Structure 1
Amino acid sequence: MNKENTSERGLLNFRLFFGVSALLCLVGVSLELYSAYHHKSVLPPNAGFTRTFGPGLDGLFNHFFYFTTQSNIILGITAFLLALNPVRTSDQFHVWRLVGIIDITITCIVFNFVLKNSPRPDQIASLASTIQHSINPALAIVGWLIYGPKGSVSIKRVAIAAFIPIAYAIFTLVRGAILVWYPYNILDVTNLGYGGVSIYIAAIFILFLIIAGFLAAIERWVGPRISTRME
């Protein structure tokens, strides 16, 4: 009976953790979109372009093209799916789970070390930024360390997951060339040129692989010493 109670309590904690994580992703993205709808978009520092969006629907929809927004959405959906069903075995799920974990970690690192001085239009946007760039990445890593799911990192899955940020970079540069607008100053071709932007993209891709290696190391060395919290 005690073992059953422990197992049920562990499962409840698992569902609760990922449910809260999914909710915070929803809150962060919702606050960001609310602010985008009500304000004119802010140019990145030292931007080489003058194009802006909003206030209104164009500003709201434009925010879906931010790496931060996309990584929080992916993380939130995969967390929600884990809260519904902790046992996930498909390659498709684990690829997207890796994308969510790695991309949200990149979001945290790049923002806090490179983009933190980017202006925010109001306090709602500032709160959204804190949730999306600090709280959600922290929960993502803590959730990975405590709950896993373990055994999801493989060379095949990392290789597939790596196509997502590559596709994002290509799409952003093509769209930027058409609209003359870029979401971040590190992708601002009008200011840095394609050579300068390529250096940042290469550095972020290397960071992606480093984080993937870190997650693989956790599974190999730390994972076996951590219980599943559901047994």
Structure 2
Amino acid sequence: MTTSGAGRTSTSRIFHAVTAFVVLAGIVIQLLVTANGTEGFFPDNPDRVFNVFAYFTIQSNLLLGGTTLLLALTPDRDSLLFRTLRLNGLLCIAVTGIVYHIALAGLDELTGWAAVTNLLLHTVTPILGVLGWLVFGPRGRTDRRVVAWSIAFPLAWLVFTLIRGAAVGFWPYPFVDADDLGYAKVLLNCLLVALLFLALAFGAMLLDRRLNRTAVER
């Protein structure tokens, strides 16, 4: 490894570690805010705290934080499972940021620590996640097989959310509230999000190939 290569690896590890720390900070603050709050679907703990993990935002941040932590510890980590989780972390956090700022921002007036965790989980981590992938990769690890497997997680979350919502009456986001919108409208909304996810997935695959070729040519 050249000196410049070693320096880039060191910078990459620091960036990924910072990303993982920001994710951890955002989730911990969110759990504390929820545990000490009075609003929400579930009136008592631990149900209130456990319910935090039903949100796609939290799941996306967990995927991003977990994969960036692994990259900080072992930059050359590689397997089909890790490639899929890495792409999931990128795509899910990107969708989280896009959907939040297009459809959900401004629905709640947040102050104090609630505003801090909202900023971290919906804005800062999406920026860090996308920027980290663009700058540090790792490159050459996104193909059609990885893209296909990456669809499994958001589909599983959607199925879980619809089944749980029908059972307990809790819907994490207005656009999946079947009690209010009806299942036809909810499924249409989910289709639009799925199309966004697929567009981002194939866009990431094509961009990864281009960035990988550029890196090899240098």
Question: What's the TM-score once normalised by structure 2's chain length?
Answer: 0.94
Whichever residue aligns with residue 36 of structure 1, its letter is T
Question: How far, CA to CA, are the matches of 2:73 and 2:164 in structure 1?
Answer: 36
Q: Are residue 146 (structure 1) and residue 135 (structure 2) matched? A: yes
Matches of residues 66-215 of structure 1 in structure 2 within 5 Å?
A: 66-119=55-108, 122-215=111-204
Q: Secondary structure at the match of 2:107?
A: coil
State the SS of the aligned residue for 2:151: helix
Contact kept, 8 Å, 1:78 with 1:96, in 2: the verdict is yes
Gaps of at least 5 residues in structure 1 are: 43-51
1:31 counterpart = 2:20: no
- Superposition deviation, residue 83 in structure 1: 0.3
Give, as a single letter, the amino acid of the residue that structure 2 aligns with 1:16. Answer: I
In the alignment, is the contact (CA less than 8 A) between 1:25 and 1:76 conserved in 2? yes
Q: Is the 8 A contact 1:146 1:226 kept in 2?
A: no
Deviation at 1:151, TM superposition (A): 1.3
1:65 to 54, 58, 83: 54
Aligned counterparts of 1:205 and 1:160: Cα–Cα separation in 2: 14
Write the letter of the residue equivalent to 1:206. L
Identity %: 32
Whole-Å separation in 1 of the counterparts to 2:73 and 2:107? 36
Contact 2:147 2:201 in 1 (8 A): yes
1:46 is matched with which residue? none
State the partner residue of 2:20.
22
Q: Is the 8 A contact 1:38 1:55 kept in 2?
A: no
Report the Cα distance in structure 2 between the residues aligned to 1:119 and 1:55, rounded to whole angstroms.
21
Of 91-100 and 149-158, deviating more is 149-158
Number of aligned residues: 218
Q: Distance in 2 between matches of 1:97 and 1:139?
A: 14
Question: CA-atom RMSD, angstroms?
Answer: 1.8
CA distance in 1 between partners of 2:111 and 2:31 (Å): 12
* TM-fit CA distance, 1:105: 0.4
Larger RCO: 1 or 2 (CA < 8 Å, sep 6+): 1
**Offset at 1:225?**
2.3
AA in 2 matched with 1:147: F
Q: Is the 8 A contact 1:29 1:69 kept in 2?
A: yes
1:118: Cα distance to partner?
A: 2.7
Contact kept, 8 Å, 2:139 with 2:211, in 1: the verdict is: no
Q: Does structure 1 conserve the Cα–Cα contact (< 8 Å) formed by 2:147 and 2:205?
A: no
> TM-score, normalising length from structure 1?
0.89
Tell me, in whole angstroms, the C-alpha distance in 2 between the residues paired with 1:112 and 1:120: 14
**Per-residue displacement from partner, 1:102-143 (whole Å, max 9, x unpaired)?**
000000010000011232564211111111111111111111
Structure 1 match to 2:10 = 12
Q: Which has the higher mean CA deviation after the structures are superposed, 202-211 or 214-223?
A: 214-223
Q: State the shift of 1:4 in Å.
A: 4.2
Please give the alpha-carbon distance, in whole angstroms, between the structure 2 residues aligned to 1:95 and 1:5: 30
